[in-house]
């Protein structure tokens, strides 16, 4: 795209129309921009428009957002991206030459977008492909510093801060450390220089009554310097910072001890000061964690400063960040070798009274969050994301101190809990927050056992606390009274569920069901979560504590109340309730009377979600609930299949017909489940779906592929004869070739090929086998990734056990002479030991054992070394510990909060494909291998007896040739002809050996 007046006008109009409230002109403008964005130099043209002062600010801001998103998609597109129009190198260089100066001269809102764009470029190009960036930033920083232009200084520091953030989060590698060294060599000294200069200006302005506006700019500059300090020190303590530690630390400590009346007199000014202080606390916490020895000379001073600071930090929510970072520093100190700072008389009680209890008590802000934003409240309170809240970090401080002073902390907190409960007992209505505080202390200070969900506490006797403190709340007939206390009681029940005996817990199932009708979103969410977690409890031996027999008496009311909870305002998409529905359906005995209303309720919810899919976790559990209902109800009563089809098909048709792309993968998985549940002949409706399934366009979106493969596998297993009609097999193979050739879908392509081998007779696939090998060998030449090679090895093993060694070798060698031998030596033998999975290990081990005994490529005298290596690989594979060979999967994995719809496939656990074992007759691959080795040893001994010592050496040379008859003997149980030179043995020896062998094996 050329930069001229015509294109300037065109782009300006497009960006103006993207801001239109009317949908039609907005869509047209977006479509036009999408089309021209594929042209070369589009990004450069948009950047120049952003810099054009004659263009309206609104248009320039919209263009800056578009520019940033354009770079995000096309600067360095990943391998799974369908977009082939990446930015050319020439355009990249021009953009990099312009963006720094344009960013620094732009208005604040545009500057923010250009700064993000610069960081996106830096993520891929800095420093190796953009060596000019850092020198340019430093030069501009020095010029701005000389001019005292702190607006420009802060823009440069903000950009540097964003670029250097990668040193906080990326794994330590040689490349990362080289990049860090480059940045330190160039930026460490200028950073300290501007930090010291700004510190002097702040001190001067504070003592001389400087302008609030100027002070805010100076404090923001120092905050950015501290954040850059954090990034540059995160991996290791750099030599420069160690040499200048005194300068850094002395200035940082000033910000914790000095008051700034001009700023602190207003809320927004105090926030600026607090942000700098919080940044200082994060820096000293980092040094305390990673550079304790070097930092120890400064520790006492900072610990006292932080202690005094905390005593003056009020409870208002605007100061939470400072309070949390300060307490976090003290927590780190409490677990270090310098914990004796807390050993002084009265220190721990002071911490408990002055820091912990005030920060654990409910505040007005907590009550407001409970009522107005229940999702955020639960995320913080129940799901452990509240580590950066005052309540949680105060308890973490107590835990830290208890690391070395457990008796003192336990006794002190136990007394505090009893005092709080006594206060509540004296005035339950007025002092209900004291009881909440007591429950929170017990729950938050509980110790979670490593690798499990069980927790313990020394603060109280769990069962006694449950009966005396928690049960009164659970049995309260008013489910809406004191909802925060009810939520706390339900949380305790959930947390200590393993400690509550089954007979006791069952008494409160009806109460949990009652709480599902509570008006409070938090309360009925906690009730649902408690029931769901109880159904997961396992006793010794892995047996579920609660079974369908325990759920059956309350099941109708439980399901009714769960679906009613989803009608409460703001809980229409309550993921905790939907997850509980899924869990109950997975445990309960599903009768027709339960299945009918459940399928009706779930379909209504699904249809509503189709209109605007906005909560991916909730939506996932809708489909999991449908899948488990299908599996358990139809598995018990096949007559329900038709009812499910009548109910589900319109919704699935709505998803596919109305292009609800977020739900495509789920729809395909449910269809696969329905196909598998049906008995042949399946209805014509499924055959129509099969035809649609073979449409290439359907396979273009990466997120659809695993689910489409799952559905295709279901069809191939259920109606394989349909595959060989109307050219469908050719279409399926075409799909599999395309999948195998793409790096991100190659494994899925092998799933299709494996299913074809399993499901179809050799006579059907024989005409296509050559095409399959050609496609696979072509990919093998281009990429030899571990995943592809392992998938190829599994496919070849399946081919061998289904259609024989000879067919495998002959069909491969028909493509290229001796290719079988090459792949056997270069790929099969060396990668066999890397196979994982129970069925995969068994399949490849058995196939490899058969190769030892059947393949001329290994039985030739010249292949002795390869034969030995193959045997070694088999033994290594089968000798690995079980946990190394088996790929375990959690019973029902939780779906992460951040699961989204952007090209992501999420597997439905309850609609998963049951893996078929192609070697059901072979119980143990170790036994299978042992048969052959034992039989061969018998033959060696027979030769030693019958032929004499001089022939034993000759036989050992031909040892592997003899093993071919072992396979025949094992499978036929009849005498066989050994592959052995007859002139080297007595005339009747072969038959005698065979007869002895068969006798031994039988």
Q: Name the phi and psi angles at 770, rounded to 5.
A: -60, -40
Q: Which residues of 9-30 are buried (b: 16+ CB within 10 A; e: fewer)?
A: ebbbebbbbbeeeeeebeeebe
HSE, side-chain direction, 13 A CA sphere, residue 809: 15
- pLDDT of 934 reads 65
The mean pLDDT of 731-750, rounded to a whole number, is 91
Asked if 446 contacts 428 with a C-beta cutoff of 8 angstroms, the reply is no
Examine the pLDDT at 997 and tell me if it is beyond 70.
Answer: no
Asked if 198 contacts 222 with a C-beta cutoff of 8 angstroms, the reply is yes
Asked if 800 contacts 850 with a C-beta cutoff of 8 angstroms, the reply is yes
Residue 525 and residue 576: Cα distance in Å, rounded? 6
The reply to whether omega before 127 is within 30° of 0 (cis) is yes
Examine the pLDDT at 318 and tell me if it is beyond 60.
Answer: yes
Q: Residue 971 to residues 471, 654, 964: CA-CA distances in angstroms?
A: 66, 53, 12
Examine the pLDDT at 64 and tell me if it is beyond 70.
Answer: yes
If DSSP states are collapsed to H, E and C, what string results for 94-127?
A: HHHHHHHHHHHHCCHHHHHHHHHHHHHHHHHHCC
The mean pLDDT of 751-768, rounded to a whole number, is 92
* Residue position matching structure tokens 């677990």: 335
The DSSP call for residue 834 is G
The mean pLDDT of 723-739, rounded to a whole number, is 86
pLDDT tens digits along 794-814 = 999 999 999 999 999 999 999
User: Got the DSSP string for 615-670?
Assistant: -HHHHHHHHHHHHHHIIIIIHH-TTHHHHHHHHHHHHHHHHHHTT-GGGHHHHHHH
Strands 447-448 and 455-456: antiparallel
Bridge-partner residues for 544, per DSSP? Answer: 538
The mean pLDDT of 882-909, rounded to a whole number, is 55
The mean pLDDT of 419-441, rounded to a whole number, is 95
- pLDDT of 983 reads 39
Examine the pLDDT at 452 and tell me if it is beyond 70.
Answer: no
Residue 447 and residue 452: Cα distance in Å, rounded? 11
Residue 515 and residue 893: Cα distance in Å, rounded? 26
pLDDT tens digits along 937-992 = 565 555 555 555 555 445 444 444 444 444 443 343 333 333 333 333 333 434 44
Q: Residue 891: which pLDDT band, with cuts at 50, 70 and 90?
A: low
- pLDDT of 696 reads 84
Bridge-partner residues for 400, per DSSP? Answer: none
- pLDDT of 940 reads 52
- pLDDT of 441 reads 93
Residues in the chain: 1002
Q: Could you tell me what percent of the chain has a pLDDT over 90?
A: 65
- pLDDT of 456 reads 86
pTM: 0.79
**Residue of 274, 279, 250 lying closest to 260 (CA atoms):** 274
The mean pLDDT of 109-131, rounded to a whole number, is 92
The reply to whether omega before 670 is within 30° of 0 (cis) is no
973: left (phi over 0), alpha (psi -120 to 50) or beta: left
Residue 455 and residue 602: Cα distance in Å, rounded? 35
Position with higher pLDDT, 96 vs 931 = 96
Asked if 422 contacts 434 with a C-beta cutoff of 8 angstroms, the reply is no
**Residue of 570, 662, 575 lying closest to 611 (CA atoms):** 662
Q: Residue 925: which pLDDT band, with cuts at 50, 70 and 90?
A: confident
Bridge-partner residues for 455, per DSSP? Answer: 448
Position with higher pLDDT, 934 vs 512 = 512
pLDDT tens digits along 486-529 = 999 999 999 999 999 999 999 999 999 999 999 999 999 999 99
3-state secondary structure of 380: helix
3-state secondary structure of 250: helix
* Rounded (5°) CA angle 928-933-935: 95
The mean pLDDT of 743-769, rounded to a whole number, is 91
Bridge-partner residues for 448, per DSSP? Answer: 455
If DSSP states are collapsed to H, E and C, what string results for 768-800?
A: HHHHHHHHHHHHHHHCCCHHHHHHHHHHHHHHH
* Residue position matching structure tokens 């902390």: 409
* Mean pLDDT of the chain, nearest integer: 87
pLDDT tens digits along 260-295 = 999 999 999 999 999 999 999 999 999 999 999 999
Examine the pLDDT at 230 and tell me if it is beyond 80.
Answer: yes
Q: Residue 782: which pLDDT band, with cuts at 50, 70 and 90?
A: confident
- pLDDT of 942 reads 58
231: left (phi over 0), alpha (psi -120 to 50) or beta: alpha
Q: Residue 163: which pLDDT band, with cuts at 50, 70 and 90?
A: very high
Position with higher pLDDT, 74 vs 83 = 74
Asked if 550 contacts 589 with a C-beta cutoff of 8 angstroms, the reply is no
pLDDT tens digits along 193-229 = 999 999 999 999 998 877 899 999 999 999 999 999 9
- pLDDT of 812 reads 95
Both tokens of residue 889?
Answer: 């999967």
The mean pLDDT of 22-34, rounded to a whole number, is 91
Residue 420 and residue 431: Cα distance in Å, rounded? 9
Dihedral of alpha carbons 544, 548, 554, 560, sign: positive
Residue 588 and residue 546: Cα distance in Å, rounded? 10
The DSSP call for residue 76 is S
């Amino acid at each position: 795209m050329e930069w001229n007046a015509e294109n300037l006008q065109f782009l300006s109009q497009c960006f103006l129309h993207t801001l239109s409230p009317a949908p039609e002109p907005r869509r047209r403008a977006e479509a036009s921009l999408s089309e021209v964005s594929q042209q070369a130099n589009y990004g450069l043209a948009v950047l120049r428009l952003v810099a054009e002062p004659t263009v309206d600010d609104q248009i320039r801001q919209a263009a800056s957002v578009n520019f940033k998103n354009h770079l995000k998609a096309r600067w360095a597109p990943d391998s799974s991206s369908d977009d082939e129009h990446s930015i050319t190198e020439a355009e990249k260089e021009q953009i990099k030459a312009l963006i720094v100066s344009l960013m620094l001269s732009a208005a604040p809102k545009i500057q923010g977008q250009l700064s993000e764009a610069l960081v996106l470029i830096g993520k891929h190009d800095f420093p190796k492909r953009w060596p000019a960036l850092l020198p340019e930033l430093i030069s501009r920083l020095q010029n701005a510093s000389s001019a005292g232009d702190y607006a420009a200084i802060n823009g440069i520091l903000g950009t540097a801060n964003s670029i250097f953030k990668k040193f906080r989060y990326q794994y330590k590698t040689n490349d990362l450390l080289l990049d860090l060294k480059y940045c330190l060599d160039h930026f460490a000294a200028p950073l300290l220089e501007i930090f010291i200069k700004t510190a002097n200006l702040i001190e001067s302005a504070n003592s001389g009554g400087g302008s609030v506006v100027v002070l805010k700019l100076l404090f923001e500059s120092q905050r950015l310097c501290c954040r850059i300090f954090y990034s540059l020190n995160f991996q290791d303590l750099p030599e420069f910072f160690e040499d200048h530690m005194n300068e850094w630390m002395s200035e940082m400590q000033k910000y914790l001890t000095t008051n700034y009346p001009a700023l602190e007199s207003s809320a927004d000014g105090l926030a600026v000061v607090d942000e700098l202080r919080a940044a200082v606390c994060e820096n000293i916490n980092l040094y305390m964690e990673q550079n304790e020895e070097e930092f120890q000379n400064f520790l006492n001073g900072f610990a006292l400063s932080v202690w005094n600071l905390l005593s003056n930090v009020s409870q208002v929510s605007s100061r939470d960040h400072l309070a949390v970072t300060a307490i976090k520093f003290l927590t780190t100190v409490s677990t270090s070798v310098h914990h004796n700072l807390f050993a002084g008389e009265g220190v721990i009680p002071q911490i408990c009274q002055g820091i912990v209890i005030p920060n654990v008590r409910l505040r007005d802000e907590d009550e407001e969050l409970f009522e107005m934003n229940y999702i955020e409240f639960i995320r913080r309170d129940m799901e452990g994301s509240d580590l950066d809240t005052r309540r949680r970090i105060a308890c973490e401080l107590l835990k830290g101190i208890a690391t070395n002073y457990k008796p003192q902390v336990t006794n002190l907190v136990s007394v505090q809990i009893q005092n709080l409960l006594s206060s509540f007992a004296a005035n339950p209505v007025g002092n209900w927050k004291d009881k909440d505080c007591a429950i929170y202390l017990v729950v938050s200070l509980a110790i979670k056992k490593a690798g499990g969900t069980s927790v313990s506490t020394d603060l109280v006797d769990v069962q006694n606390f449950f009966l005396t403190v928690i049960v009164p709340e659970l049995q309260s007939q008013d489910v809406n009274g004191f909802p925060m206390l009810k939520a706390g009681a339900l949380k305790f029940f959930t947390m200590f569920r393993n400690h509550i005996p089954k007979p006791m817990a069952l008494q409160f199932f009806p109460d949990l069901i009652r709480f599902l009708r509570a008006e409070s979103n938090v309360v009925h969410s906690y009730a649902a979560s408690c029931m769901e977690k109880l159904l997961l409890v396992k006793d010794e031996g892995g047996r579920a504590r609660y079974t369908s027999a325990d759920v059956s008496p309350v099941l109708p009311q439980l399901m009714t109340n769960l679906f009613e909870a989803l009608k409460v305002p703001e809980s229409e998409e309550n993921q905790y309730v939907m997850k509980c529905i899924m869990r109950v359906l997975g445990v309960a005995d599903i009768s027709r009377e339960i299945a009918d209303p459940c399928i009706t309720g779930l379909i209504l919810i699904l249809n509503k979600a189709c209109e605007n899919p906005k909560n991916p976790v909730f939506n996932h559990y809708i489909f999991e609930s449908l899948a488990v209902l299908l599996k358990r109800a139809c598995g018990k009563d096949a007559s329900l299949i038709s009812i499910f089809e009548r109910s589900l098909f319109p919704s699935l048709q709505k998803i596919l017909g109305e292009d609800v792309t977020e739900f495509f993968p789920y729809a395909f998985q449910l269809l696969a489940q329905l196909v598998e549940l049906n008995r042949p002949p399946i209805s014509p409706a499924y055959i129509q779906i099969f035809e649609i399934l073979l449409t290439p366009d359907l396979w273009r979106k990466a997120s659809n592929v695993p689910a489409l493969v799952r559905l295709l596998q279901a069809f191939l297993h259920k109606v394989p004869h349909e595959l060989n009609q109307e050219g469908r097999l050719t279409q399926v193979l075409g799909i599999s070739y395309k999948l195998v050739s793409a790096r991100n879908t190659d494994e899925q392509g092998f799933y299709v090929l494996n299913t074809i081998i399993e499901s179809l007779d050799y006579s059907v696939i024989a005409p296509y086998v050559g095409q399959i090998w050609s496609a696979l060998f072509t990919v093998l030449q281009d990429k030899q990734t571990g995943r592809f090679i392992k998938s190829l090895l599994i496919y070849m093993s399946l081919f061998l056990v289904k259609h024989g060694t000879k067919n495998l070798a002959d069909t491969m060698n028909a493509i290229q002479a001796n290719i079988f031998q090459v792949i056997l030596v270069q790929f099969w033998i060396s990668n066999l030991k890397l196979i994982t999975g129970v069925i995969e290990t068994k399949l490849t081990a058995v196939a490899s054992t058969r190769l030892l005994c059947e393949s001329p490529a290994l039985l030739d005298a010249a292949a002795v070394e390869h034969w030995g290596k193959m045997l070694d690989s088999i033994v290594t594979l089968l000798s690995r510990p079980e946990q190394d060979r088996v790929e375990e999967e959690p019973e029902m994995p939780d779906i992460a909060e951040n699961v989204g719809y952007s090209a992501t496939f999420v597997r439905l656990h309850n609609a998963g494909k049951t893996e078929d074992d192609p070697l059901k007759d072979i119980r143990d691959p170790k036994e299978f291998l042992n048969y052959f080795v034992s039989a061969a040893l018998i033959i060696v001994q027979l030769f030693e007896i019958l032929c004499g010592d001089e022939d034993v050496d000759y036989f050992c040379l031909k040892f592997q040739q003899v093993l071919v008859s072992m396979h025949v003997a094992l499978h036929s149980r009849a005498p066989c002809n050994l592959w052995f030179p007859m002139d080297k043995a007595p005339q009747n020896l072969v038959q005698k050996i065979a007869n002895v062998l068969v006798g031994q094996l039988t």
